[in-house]
């Protein structure tokens, strides 16, 4: 999958200090001419995606901050960027000289910026935000907070269009079918399940704007968003047919005919609003407030009854079938074999020639590209040496590309999109002679990984509650980390997938309940700013655990197959149970990967899985 072009390529600090103030000045001119006192620019598009096509990277364009999550507010005399703990160090660097102030928040879902608007604007002043990229749920919060202070909200303007010269257009890459043997369930079968859920909820129609749900439901994939094999579209479903709103020419004629034969009709992307306006006045529409935007939904006649509920497809796609799981296991073996090749190259090359953080990205992507059914990376590789590893979402650039030499830790977080699954793995590599403190931190982080990996819990346990299991070993040592412990993962789809999420930052709502077949990451971390970062990440599958008089239980099957660098480890901090877990895991890794590697990669695998 080719990456979509970025509208906000990383700027050097000196460039940002020149360019961003100019962009903000132009935006303020358009704000003044429209009677706007504050402009809110979220990290969002009409599909409320995590990773955005270039056209909707306005927050990055006007702030210079290139992280994936953040909210920008611009007033006549202030500009602030609200970012969570993962991005504080990066934002501090990106915002130098821009005139944009970093505003620290605890989590990506926090709404501190709404409180700030309510507290800092006067009655009768106006806040502008493009309603087409504002989720219905956030719009409700925003309206409630602002109206209580008699502050006006304008959601009809798209100020970015006026203030962003040469704004990128919509992506035009073609959509393709995710076919057999990997798409193990047909479109008709998936639609029948969604329609049954609609009927149970009493809905005549169902609007889906989230691109991962649409891609899964219709067994289609695309390349409109970097790293995630999705395409921009809306879908309007009733019991007889589906209307798919998508850019002209994006679906090849033969595929379009096949869809039409299954009563899936393609319409122009922009016609979603007119289609909603045409809904019968007495109809009932199912929508998920967090996954549809105010601007699109405003097209509905006021008489249309709306049912707020999570998209049924979100639940359905989170529970992988046994056939999908087998493809995922095969994918994990191929991904592990690619990593053996990469790490063998790394170990044989380090100290003999210069290796930089960007070289790590190049080599790891090249190793994966040789593997069957590989499509693309699943996100931009994070390769951070020592202090750079202490930034959870660090990305090397030509300006920050550190040479890997001396002593310490190299953190590598990477992943791949394959036709048979999505991978996401983090490993930490010993460079030279790590210090005793580094080895202690590594052991404590690994204890946290193991603690959650071996956990058993009742079916239906809300995923955020599991977060404390991983943190307990760190808390006992007076340590903690700011991000969540794990996220759901899609099936050749988004590397971050709901509805489950192992994080203290996520409310333990009913939809977060853990069920069989879900895939989640386990990735606690220890970050010492200016020194080093440690994060070990595996993907795990929910499989049946014990069945007792107290109910049915779930345990985890570790899917990821790659040795953990025990050169980083002070095993005196581990119990025998934890040492046994490492040795058993490495025995499994060796047994599963040996048939897929040869030469240097095989030699590296064998020496990296020796029992400790």
Burial class (CB in 10 A: 0-12, 13-18, 19+), 377: buried
**pLDDT surpassing 70 at residue 12:** no
Q: 476 Cβ partners below 8 Å, 6+ apart?
A: none
Sheet holding 416-418, edge to edge: 374-377, 416-418, 421-422
Matching residue, tokens 């603690």: 451
**pLDDT surpassing 70 at residue 11:** no
Confidence of residue 205 (pLDDT cuts 50, 70, 90): very high
Q: Give me the pLDDT at residue 8, please.
A: 41
Instruction: Check if the beta carbon of residue 111 is closer than 8 Å to that of residue 146.
Output: no
pLDDT tens, residue by residue, 555-581: 999 999 999 999 999 999 999 999 999
Q: By percentage, how much of the chain surpasses pLDDT 70?
A: 98
Q: 15 Cβ partners below 8 Å, 6+ apart?
A: none
**pLDDT surpassing 50 at residue 429:** yes
Matching residue, tokens 């991005």: 87
What is the dihedral sign for C-alpha 332, 334, 339, 340?
positive
Mean pLDDT of the chain: 95
**pLDDT surpassing 90 at residue 274:** yes
pLDDT tens, residue by residue, 495-544: 999 999 999 989 999 999 999 999 999 999 999 999 999 999 999 999 99
**pLDDT surpassing 80 at residue 184:** yes
Q: By percentage, how much of the chain surpasses pLDDT 90?
A: 91
Average of per-residue pLDDT across 45-65? 94
pLDDT tens, residue by residue, 76-98: 999 999 998 888 888 888 899 99
pLDDT tens, residue by residue, 13-53: 446 778 999 999 999 999 999 999 999 999 999 999 988 99
pLDDT tens, residue by residue, 371-388: 999 999 999 999 999 999
Q: How far apart are CA 265 and CA 361, in angstroms?
A: 41
pLDDT tens, residue by residue, 289-348: 999 999 999 999 999 999 999 999 999 999 999 999 999 999 999 999 999 999 999 999
Provide the greatest CA pair distance for the chain: 73
What is the dihedral sign for C-alpha 560, 499, 461, 544?
negative
How far, rounded to the nearest angstrom, does the alpha carbon of residue 512 sit from its chain's CA centroid? 16
What DSSP string runs through 338-380? HHHHHHHHHHHHBTTB--BHHHHHHHHHHHHHTSTTEEEESS-
Q: Give me the pLDDT at residue 473, please.
A: 97
pLDDT tens, residue by residue, 277-305: 999 999 999 999 999 999 999 999 999 99
Confidence of residue 416 (pLDDT cuts 50, 70, 90): very high
In the beta sheet, which residues pair with residue 458?
Answer: 553
Q: Give me the pLDDT at residue 15, please.
A: 62
**pLDDT surpassing 50 at residue 204:** yes
Name all domains of the chain by residue range, CATH numbers in brackets.
Answer: 13-163 (3.40.350.10), 176-317 (3.40.350.10), 319-608 (3.90.230.10)
What DSSP string runs through 257-286? HHHHHTTEEEEEGGGHHHHHHTS-TT-EEE
Q: 22 Cβ partners below 8 Å, 6+ apart?
A: none
Q: Give me the pLDDT at residue 1, please.
A: 31
Q: How far apart are CA 252 and CA 222, in angstroms?
A: 12
**pLDDT surpassing 50 at residue 111:** yes
**pLDDT surpassing 50 at residue 431:** yes
Q: Give me the pLDDT at residue 477, please.
A: 97
Average of per-residue pLDDT across 216-221? 98
Confidence of residue 6 (pLDDT cuts 50, 70, 90): very low
Instruction: Check if the beta carbon of residue 456 is closer than 8 Å to that of residue 557.
Output: no
Cα distances from 13 to residues 54, 95, 388, in angstroms, run 21, 8, 17
CA dihedral (292, 293, 299, 300) in degrees, to 10, reads 40
What DSSP string runs through 516-535? TT-EEEE--EEEETTTEEEE
Q: Give me the pLDDT at residue 109, please.
A: 77
Query: For the chain, first and last CA: distance in Å?
Result: 40
Q: How far apart are CA 44 and CA 265, in angstroms?
A: 27
Q: Give me the pLDDT at residue 13, please.
A: 47
């Amino acid at each position: 999958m080719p990456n979509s072009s970025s509208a906000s390529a990383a700027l050097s600090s000196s460039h940002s200090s020149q360019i961003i103030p100019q962009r903000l000045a132009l935006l303020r001119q358009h704000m003044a001419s429209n009677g706007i006192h504050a402009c809110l620019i979220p990290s969002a598009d009409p599909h409320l995606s995590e990773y955005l096509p270039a056209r909707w990277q306005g927050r990055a364009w006007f702030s210079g901050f290139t992280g994936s999550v953040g909210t920008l507010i611009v007033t006549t005399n202030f500009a602030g960027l609200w970012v969570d703990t993962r991005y504080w160090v990066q934002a501090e660097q990106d915002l130098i000289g821009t005139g944009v102030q970093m505003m620290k928040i605890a989590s990506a879902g926090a709404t501190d910026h709404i409180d700030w608007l309510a507290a800092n604007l006067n009655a009768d002043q106006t806040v502008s935000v493009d309603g087409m990229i504002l989720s219905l749920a956030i719009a409700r919060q925003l309206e409630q907070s602002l109206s209580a202070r008699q502050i006006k909200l304008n959601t009809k303007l798209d100020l970015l269009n006026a203030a962003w010269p040469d704004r990128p257009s919509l992506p035009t890459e073609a959509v393709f079918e995710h076919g057999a043997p990997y798409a193990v369930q047909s479109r008709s079968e998936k639609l029948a399940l969604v329609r049954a859920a609609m009927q149970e909820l009493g809905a005549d129609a169902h609007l889906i704007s989230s691109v991962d749900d649409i891609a899964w439901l219709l067994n289609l994939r695309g390349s409109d968003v970097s790293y995630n094999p999705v395409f921009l579209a809306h879908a309007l479903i009733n019991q007889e047919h589906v209307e798919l709103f998508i850019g002209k020419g994006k679906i090849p004629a033969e595929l379009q005919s096949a869809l039409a034969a299954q009563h899936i009709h393609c319409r122009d992307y922009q016609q979603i609003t007119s289609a909603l306006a045409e809904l019968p006045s007495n109809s009932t529409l199912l929508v998920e407030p967090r996954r549809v935007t105010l601007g699109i939904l405003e097209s509905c006649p006021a008489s249309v009854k709306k049912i707020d509920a999570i998209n049924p497809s979100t639940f359905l796609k989170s529970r992988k079938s046994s056939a999908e799981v087998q493809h995922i296991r095969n994918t994990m073996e191929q991904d592990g074999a690619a990593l053996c090749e990469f790490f063998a190259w790394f170990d044989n090359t380090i100290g003999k020639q210069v290796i930089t953080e960007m070289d790590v990205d190049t080599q790891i992507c090249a190793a994966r590209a040789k593997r069957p059914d590989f499509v693309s990376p699943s996100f931009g590789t994070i390769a951070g040496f020592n202090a750079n590893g202490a930034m959870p979402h660090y990305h090397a650039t030509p300006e920050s590309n550190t040479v890997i030499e001396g002593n310490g830790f190299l953190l590598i977080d990477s992943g791949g999109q394959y036709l048979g699954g999505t991978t996401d793995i983090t490993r930490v590599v010993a460079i030279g002679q790590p210090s005793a403190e580094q080895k202690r931190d590594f052991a404590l982080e690994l204890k946290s990984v193991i603690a959650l990996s071996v956990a058993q819990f009742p079916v239906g346990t809300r995923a955020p509650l599991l977060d404390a299991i991983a943190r307990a070993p760190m808390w006992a040592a007076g340590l903690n980390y700011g991000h969540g412990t794990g996220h759901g993962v899609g099936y050749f789809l988004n590397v971050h997938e709901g509805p489950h999420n192992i994080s203290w930052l996520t409310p333990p709502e009913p939809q977060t309940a853990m069920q069989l077949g879900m895939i989640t990451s386990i990735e606690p971390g220890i970050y010492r700013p200016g020194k080093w970062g440690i994060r070990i990440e595996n993907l795990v599958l929910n499989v049946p655990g014990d069945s007792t008089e107290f109910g049915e239980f779930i345990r985890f099957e570790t899917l990821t197959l790659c040795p953990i660098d025990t050169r980083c480890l002070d095993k005196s901090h581990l119990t025998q149970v934890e040492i046994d877990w490492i040795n058993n895991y490495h025995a499994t890794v060796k047994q599963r990967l040996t048939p897929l590697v040869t030469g240097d990669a095989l030699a590296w695998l064998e020496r990296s899985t020796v029992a400790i």
